[in-house]
Structure 1
Amino acid sequence: MSQSPQAQLALLQQQLQSLQEKHDALQATLDAQRTQANQWLEQRTRELQREAQEQKKAETLQRVFYRIAERATAGLPFYDFLKAVHELLGELLYAKNFFVCLCSQSQNTVDFPYYVDEKDGDTMQCNDVPRGRGMTEFVLRTAEPQLIDTKRFMALQECGEITEATGDLTFTTWLGVPMKVEGRISGALVVQGYEEGVKPYSEADADILSFVANHVGAAIERYQAIEAMRSSEARYRLVIENVGVGVVVVQDGRMVFANPSMVRIVGHPLDYLLSQPFTATIHPDDVPAVLDRHQRRLRGETVETHYGFRVITQQGEERALELSAVVIQWNQRNATLLFVVDATARLQAEQSQRQALQQQIALNDMKTRFIAMASHEFRTPLATIHGSVELLQHYNDRMPADKKLLTLQKIDDAVERMTHMLENVLVIGRTDAGRLEFKPHALGIATFCHALVDEMRSAMARQLTHVQLHLDLPPVERLYWLDDTLIRNIVGNLLSNAVKYSPQGGTVLFAVQELDGALVFTVRDEGIGIPEADQAQLFVSFHRASNVGPIAGTGLGLSIVKEAVTCHLGQIAVHSTVGQGSTFTVTLPTRRCAAED
């Protein structure tokens, strides 16, 4: 017995109310997930900004330290070198006022070879000053970095730690760090500020100044080594043979002297180095440039004193070196003195930093594409739901029953679309977090694929009206070791794409074949195809081909397919021509198994 119109209307109203409640619940879930996604994006943005700041700071540190080392090998007078250090230090922290102290343990005195101060000028730049209980001596005595402001200065005076401070003492912030030369505390670097607006020095500033002190200490060692060389050939050899920098003398195209560090750096025995042309270990591609600079330098022409080249060790390893060179007299004849540093580790670190920067750029790009996708793909189904609900609210009593059911079906389709998009985003999130698991078990691939196709026929009934779907599957009784969740991701996405991107209809072939210990999945369509320019980015998250037009999509399906294939240790290949269709081939290594497995 058919129901009355009133009963049917009441039933539809109940269904509408139920759907409205589901819609409200889904909207609340979507709002919560959107809030969570926004929070994640904001947190990730802050993290990327912090990482970028840290990377920029690290790059500045590396550049300054490299330039300090470069100045140390440039043959500058000691004061000019310290002046260059002062200028470079200003890139790292407030260093308007800066001085260097060196101490003599045997004579109990201190020297100030460089002293620049806005209040004292250079009047404090003097030598052989008896050690007292001043602020700099306090740093030397404690052998630790010291941060001193006005309050702490008064406290140190009261306890007797500082009783003989000299110079202008109206500073607002003061920082001194000890400096090691030849493994012991032999001096200090000091910066100070007088202005009230100057930010007080921090522990981070102390760390930076300590790093600079290490480089200056190493430079002082190098200057001392050169001075020793000038004073005595015997002392020169003793020092040169124990420094960590490779030192070489080249005369008449051969090495006539090479210290142990040079032997270690180039990775060849000393007798080989001294018996071969000095270019014997240099990479063949770099030999012409090195020879050209060497010959021009001997002719007295202007040549850069610092450059890089590569060598090949006895074991065939390639190393990147940097050298500085100067013409000297060796046995009353012209020769070239080379200081060589192994820069391989530093260059590798720079390469790692560049790769890290590229990764950050890729993350930022992915974030931008995700936001664009989410704002577009979620807006459409939400608009559909909103419009359908308004239609039912205002025209419910005038709408035919079939029109109401169609409207309700639109709401359900939109909710299903949003749910599918959220599931894809969650899968990508698990992939990026390394939580995509591979759990194979005995799977009847034919039965499984038939079930997937049936689900797709139901979900994509409208698109399939113009598409002929052909299946070529193994016998039902054959079982293989596979992960059904990952296979669902692979087959489901490839088949739905083949149907979705065949708006003009045509044939879609889905085949599974066993070949040489692997299962080969083939999905072929006659759809719009993929432009060649887009194929390189095909498996990148949120990337969509340039010819998809109004066809809806998130750009996540193929990236999920790629990760699922990778979990199976498989391979995926694509062949596509615009306007003729695409063929995706997935090869998964596996083996048959019995039902009891």
Structure 2
Amino acid sequence: MKVQTAPAVLWLQLAPDGHYRLLQRDAGRSLLGRLPAHGRLDEALREAGLPALCVERLLDLMRAGSSNAWPIRLPDATGRAVELLLSTSPPVRPPGPPEAPADAAPDAAPDDGSVQALVTLTPLAAIEHRGELADTDTEIATGADADADRRPVRLRLDAQARLLQIDGPWAAVVGLAPEACIGRPLADALAPQAVGTWQGLLARARAGTLDALDRRQPMPLRPQPGSLRWIEFSALHWHAGDGPSAGGWEACFSEITTNVRQQQLQHIRERALDLTGAGVVVIDAMSPRHPMVLVNRSFCRLTGYDESAILGRSLRFFTGIPNGQEGAATLDQALREGRAAGAVVASHRRDGTPYWAQFTLTPFHDPDNGLLTHVVAVLADVTESRELIARLSQQSAMLHAVHHDNPNGLIAFDEQGGVCLQNAAVKTLTGLYLVGLTRRKCFEALAALADEGAPDLETGLERHGWLQWPVRQPRERVIELRRIQQDSRSAAMLLVLRDVTAETQLHQMQREFLATAAHEMRTPMTSIRGFAGLLLTEAVAPDVQRELIGRIHHQSLRLSQLLNDLLDVSRIEAQGQGGPLVLQDLALESEVQDVLRTLATPEAADRLQLRPAPRPLVVRSHRAKLTQILLNLVSNALKYSRDRVTVTLTFDPAEGCAHIAVRDQGVGLSQAMMSRLFTKFYRVDPDGATQGTGLGLYIARTLAEQLGGRIEVCSELGVGSTFTLTLPLAGPG
């Protein structure tokens, strides 16, 4: 038959005269269910079925305020023996407001000198009843051989504590024949560590100062082969005689080996629980409040609370700070449902320090009837790990951003030489997805993007570590490949692809610019040096001399114009990298007229014509740069036009801009010419009589873009060209 396995917890108040008051009884009402609410405790416990020596030992521990536990047997209502663990301890912290039982005396009040204790009876198992229960602790000890003679051993000793008479199972307990021990000191049967304790007991008993707790000190016997036994004296009395050497002792002891071993094992368990780094607390699942009833030192250390501030509280004291946490709700629900769970919650230590606590709940059920009795909660401080995870997550996000948002292509090879990772830029640059390919297949796929005859990628990277590689697919570009490999013995490496098309084109343009500038400057310089040398070395007629000086002057003007244009280009490009221009409102017709007056030489005055707009136009522009643009456009029209040059001013109210159209009647331009018209040093007729540096239109278009405008051209061969400058108006059109 199965028995109830819920523990019985009795909160008792014991007066010096042996009377008691039952302050509270929790669960397990079938255990000691006949115990009244008040009366003499020794009589009440014996009436409830506890053996006499067990009652005596329990009262001794309660009066001393000590804690101890030992197994006993009690009969249940059917006569079957039930194995129980009987324990007593002083209440460190009351487990809630005392609730007096229904049969408690209403006028019971604590007496002076009374003590309080918690007595717990925890069922261990249900066993078959074997005869009548003995009246000694030895007979009710568990775990020993059921067929062993478990009677107490009674002794008579002389004044020197030598054995005179032995009654009981001496040989079974001590391991020596009684005949061999008569006449020898009892200390010879004790382990050396217990001899001092035995002699102290004899001295206090002879002086009449020996109390019950002193008498019950466990003492080990001298170890026999393969065993070590423990005994406890239940009686030790001195009888004085007539002479100085007369007198003797009467003693009675019982074997408590099983009790001691279980207490040692319990102590080791408690010590092991305290030595673990994790906090452990045991929760009473039988109580609706789910109080914490056992806690280890690590839990106190992690939370900052001592044991007295923890026992009796609910786990929500630690999981409910701050309130409303999802993890706390998970733990509460698991406690109510009696199931395992785990959650991480934000909590605070006693000093207010915040930390992250990870609680793991494990329910414990009675093996006989499946009733949930306790829940063990394990606490771990995961603050450092959560902070580490947060840092790793942040670093991972940063690495992800660096990898996937990097404009450079990244291809990673693992230890086996396969492509394990590529970012989005690789697909943009090459149009390939290479993950999963071997190293050889990867380089073959990359090599297919270039023309035949391109350098071998692997060879170039092995030799130099990097190379520039022109590709034709998915579009023409120049890619720089760079290999990063920490260990040459490993196949793991990183391949970096960078689009250097713009840089390559820029370098090419710089080389062409320098070469063109040097060529353009060499021509006038050669003329100046040649004519000057001729004047210095040869005697020439005055009219020839004047002609040569005129040519030197003309070439120096051409060289000066070239240098000025180069300086303009330098300033324009520097300005393009600087801040915005300071603009102002300018009357467009007035600015155009100033430019025409500047260019109206006696030869060109009749060839210039202005057609103003039907209304005054005001543009938002920069006067010096606008003047430079207009001078360039009108002077070019005069150079290439056979007849009149017309400047027409119009405006577009829809776009809010003004148009300055400069039309000439020159040779006109082909489509090929117009495609290169605004590049540096380009001249329509480089070998003709019209002089120029090839920088004017480049400068004009760049300045127009800086002013927020544009220059457009339309032309027809043999008819002429029209250059139109568009600028934003200062106000509504």
- Please report the TM-score for the alignment, with normalisation by the length of structure 1: 0.38
- Please report the TM-score for the alignment, with normalisation by the length of structure 2: 0.32
Higher strand proportion (structure 1 or 2)? 2
Higher helix proportion (structure 1 or 2)? 1
* Larger RCO (CA under 8 A, 6+ residues apart): 1
